[in-house]
Structure 1
Amino acid sequence: MLHSLYEFWTAAAGGTPLEWIAVLTGFACVWLAARESIWNFPVAMVSCGLYAVVYYRSQLYSDSMLQGFFILISVYGWYEWLYGGARHTALHVTRTRRWEWVAVAAGVALFTLGFGYYLQHNTDAALPHWDSFTTAGSMGAQYLLTRKRLENWLIWILVDAIYVPILWYKQLYPTSGLYAVYLVLAAYGYVEWRRAARAAQLSAPTAA
C-alpha cells in the first residue's frame, strides 16, 4: 500500500523539466490575464511554445497545433488591448455580443466534428474528438479574451474542467494539476472582469 502511494506521488510530482517550466509560465499567464495585465501576452507566447512540444510528445496533436494559434493571437491581443478601443485607446471589459456567441458556437462544433474525424482516421491521436473540442473551445475563449469580453472566462471554466481528466489520463500530471488551478483562476478572472465592466459602465457617462 505504502509502496503504491509512493509510486503514485512520484509520478504525479514528476513531469519533465520542460513541462514544469511550461506549467509555471502558464500559471503566470492566466494570473496576469485575470488581473488585466498586458504582460499576459508575452508570457503566453513563451508558455505556448513550450507546450507545443509537450503536447506533441504526448500525441495530443490538436492541442500542440493550438499553441501556434495562441502565439499568433497573443500578438493580436497585445495590440488590441493597447489600441483596440474607441479612437485607438485601450480596451475596456465588455459583454460578448450575440453574433460572437453564434460564431464561437458554430466554430467549436464544426472544428470538433471535422478535425476530430481527421485525427481519428489519419493519426494515432489519443481522444481525437475530446482533443478537438478542447482545442476549438480554447480558440473561441482566447479570441473573446483578446477583445476583453467578460464571458471568455465562462468558456475557459468549461474547457479547463475537461482538460483536467484528459491530461491526467495522458499522465501529464503537473499540467493536469495546472488546469485544476486554471479553474479557480478563471472563476477569479470572471469576478474581477465583471467588476471592471461595471466600473467602465459607470464611468462612461462621465467621460461622455
Structure 2
Amino acid sequence: MLDYFFSQYKGYPIHEVYLELIGVFFGLWSVWCAKKDNIWVFPTGLISTSIYAYLLWQWSLLGDSMINVYYFIMSIYGWYHWTRKKGDVDEFPVSVMTNKEKVMAVVIFVLTLIFVIIVYLYFNKFASWYSYVDTFLTAIFFVGMWLMAKRKIENWIFWIVGDLLSIPLYFTKGYTFTCFQYIIFTIIAVYGYLEWKKILNSSQNLELRQL
C-alpha cells in the first residue's frame, strides 16, 4: 500500500520532498486559520504559496504555479484588507457578494482562463488532460482567492470545487503528499463555509437588534 502511494518519490530530488512537506504543513495551517477567520491565514499562506510556486513550475503545472504567485500577491493584499478597522470594528467583516462583485468574479474567471491558455500554448504544454484541468483550476482558484481577500463567504464554494478537482489531478501526477493535502483542504473548506455562515448570521442578527 505504501509503495503504491509513495513509489514515485524514489526518483524525486530530496530537497523537493522536504519542500513539498513544508508547503503542505503551512498550506494546511493557512486553510485552518481561514476557517477560523484568523488573520494568520495570510503569513502562513505566504510561506506555502512561495514554496508551491517553485515546485509546481518544476512539475510543469504552469497554471497552478501562477495560481500560487497570485496567492502570494493576494495574501499581502488580504492581510492589509483584513486588518483595516473603524475604531474597534472590522471595516470589512465576513459578508456576501454584491451584484457588482459577482460580475467581477465572472470577469476574473474568463480573463484568467484566456491568460493561462495563452501561456500553455506559448510553452507548448497542452500535452495531456492535466493541462486542461490545470487551466480550469487556475481560473477557479483565482476567483476563490480574490473573494477570500475580500472576506466574502462565497470563496469557500470555489475552494471546495477546486480542491475536489485537484485531488485526482495530483494523485494521477504522482504527488501524493499534495493529493492528501487537497483531501484535507476539501474537508476544512466545507467546515470553513459553515463556520463563516455562523459568523455572518451572528453579525446580521446583531445588526437587526441594533435597529
Which category describes the TM-score, using the shorter chain as reference length? 0.7 to 0.9
- Asked if 1:181 corresponds to 2:184, the answer is yes
- Asked if 1:129 corresponds to 2:132, the answer is yes
- Asked if 1:10 corresponds to 2:6, the answer is yes
* SS class of match (1:128): helix
TM-score in terms of structure 1 length: 0.88
Distance apart, 1:124 and its partner CA = 2.9
2:205 is aligned, of 187, 202, 205, to: 202
* SS class of match (2:95): coil
* Distance (Å, rounded) in 2 between the aligned partners of 1:28 and 1:149: 20
Gaps of 5+ in 2: none
* Distance (Å, rounded) in 2 between the aligned partners of 1:69 and 1:179: 18
Distance apart, 1:150 and its partner CA = 0.8
CA RMSD, 1 decimal:
2.2
* Aligned sequence identity (%): 25
Distance apart, 1:116 and its partner CA = 1.8
The letter of the residue matching 1:11 is S
Gaps of 5+ in 1: none
Instruction: Tell me, yes or no, if the aligned pair for 1:161 and 1:180 is still in contact at 8 Å.
Output: yes
Q: Which residue of structure 2 aligns with residue 76 of structure 1?
A: 77
Distance apart, 1:118 and its partner CA = 3.7
Distance apart, 1:55 and its partner CA = 0.5
Equivalences, count: 203
CA gap of 1:121–1:6, structure 2 versus 1, over 3 A, is same
- Greater alpha carbon shift after TM alignment, 189-198 vs 98-107: 98-107
Task: Give matches, 1:152-191, under 5 Å.
Answer: 152-191=155-194
* Distance (Å, rounded) in 2 between the aligned partners of 1:151 and 1:49: 25
1:140 is aligned, of 121, 128, 143, to: 143
Distance apart, 1:184 and its partner CA = 0.5
CA gap of 1:110–1:42, structure 2 versus 1, over 3 A, is same
